[in-house]
């Protein structure tokens, strides 16, 4: 006889947990062994019971789902976690997957898709929709492109970017670096061309977004 897949449900809504449990218990190969209503309880039960699959909501009391995933995976990297999410939370699925989740299940998914996702997760197979997969690729490409653009800057250009992001004027930059204001303007034009930016505000935003400056006092 095949051993049942032991599932831990993590969600702060009792009605949703009860409905999901009722659905899963109609499947002969799945057994719901426990339920957690917050992130802290989820971590404790996951480490104590070592379920085959954890169904993890993202919006949880005490500790959110992403924090819980990170801590669970840190304590036991072998545990398999699926995110429970809604369409409005789709942007949070990517950080959850990066944190260690195998994939996600939309809360309004058809019952057979939920069952199949659990079966695949139990086998260690990732579950990604086309939307999430596309967004992950775009995010990775964006970061790679940003890194490549920064690496294309010369040391002097990078120095000027940091000074601009700190609120330094062109005249102050010229004085600080012992160059002319025209040379500063030339550098800035070259920088904007390499980074595909249009103005000073975009350059400041780019520097902050790519952590080219330290915002700590």
Output the DSSP codes for 133-175. Answer: HHHHHHHHHHHHHHHHHHHHS-HHHHHHHHHHHTT--HHHHHH
What per-residue confidence (pLDDT) applies to 27?
A: 92
Res 89 pLDDT > 80: no
Q: Average pLDDT, stretch 174-201?
A: 91
Whole-number Å distance between alpha carbons of 45 and 28: 23
Greater pLDDT, 78 or 148: 78
Q: Average pLDDT, stretch 137-151?
A: 66
Neighbours of 164 (CB within 10 A): 21
Q: Average pLDDT, stretch 105-131?
A: 86
User: Where is average pLDDT lowest: 7-11, 83-87, 204-208?
Assistant: 83-87
pTM of the complete model: 0.64
Beta pairing, strands 30-36 & 80-85: unpaired
pLDDT cut 90: percent of the chain above it: 56
What does residue 102 show for φ and ψ, rounded to 5 degrees?
A: -75, -25
Res 143 pLDDT > 70: no
The Cα-based distances of 136 to 18, 76, 102 in angstroms read 32, 25, 13
Domains of the chain: 5-131 (3.40.50.2300), 153-209 (1.10.10.10)
What per-residue confidence (pLDDT) applies to 144?
A: 59
What per-residue confidence (pLDDT) applies to 1?
A: 46
What per-residue confidence (pLDDT) applies to 183?
A: 95
Res 215 pLDDT > 60: no
Residues 6+ apart with CB under 8 A from 174: 180, 181, 183, 184
Mean pLDDT of the chain: 87
Res 205 pLDDT > 90: no
What per-residue confidence (pLDDT) applies to 151?
A: 77
Are 79 and 52 in contact by the 8 Å Cβ rule? The answer is no
- Give the DSSP H/E element, type plus range, for residue 81: strand 80-85
Q: Average pLDDT, stretch 18-27?
A: 93
Q: Average pLDDT, stretch 165-177?
A: 93
Res 82 pLDDT > 60: yes
Query: Hey, is 14 helix, strand or coil?
Result: helix
Burial-class residue 15 by CB neighbours within 10 Å (0-12, 13-18, 19+). exposed
């Amino acid at each position: 006889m095949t051993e049942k897949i032991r599932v831990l449900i993590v969600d702060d809504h009792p009605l949703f947990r009860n409905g999901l449990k009722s659905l899963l218990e109609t499947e002969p190969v799945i057994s719901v062994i426990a339920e957690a209503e917050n992130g802290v309880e989820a971590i404790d039960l996951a480490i104590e019971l070592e379920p085959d699959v954890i169904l993890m909501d993202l919006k949880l009391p005490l500790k959110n789902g992403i924090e819980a995933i990170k801590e669970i995976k840190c304590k036991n990297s072998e545990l398999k976690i699926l995110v429970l999410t809604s369409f409005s939370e789709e942007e949070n699925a990517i950080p959850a997957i990066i944190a260690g989740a195998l994939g996600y299940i939309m809360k309004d998914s058809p019952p057979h898709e939920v069952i199949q996702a659990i079966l695949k997760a139990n086998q260690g197979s990732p579950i990604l929709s086309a939307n999430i997969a596309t967004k992950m690729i775009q995010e990775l490409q964006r970061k790679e492109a940003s890194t490549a653009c920064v690496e294309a800057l010369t040391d002097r250009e990078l120095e000027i970017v940091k000074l601009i992001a700190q609120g330094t004027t062109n005249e102050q930059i010229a004085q600080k670096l012992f160059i002319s204001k025209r040379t500063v303007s030339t550098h800035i034009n070259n920088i904007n061309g390499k980074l595909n930016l249009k103005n000073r505000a975009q350059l400041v935003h780019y520097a902050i977004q790519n952590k080219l400056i330290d915002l700590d006092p």
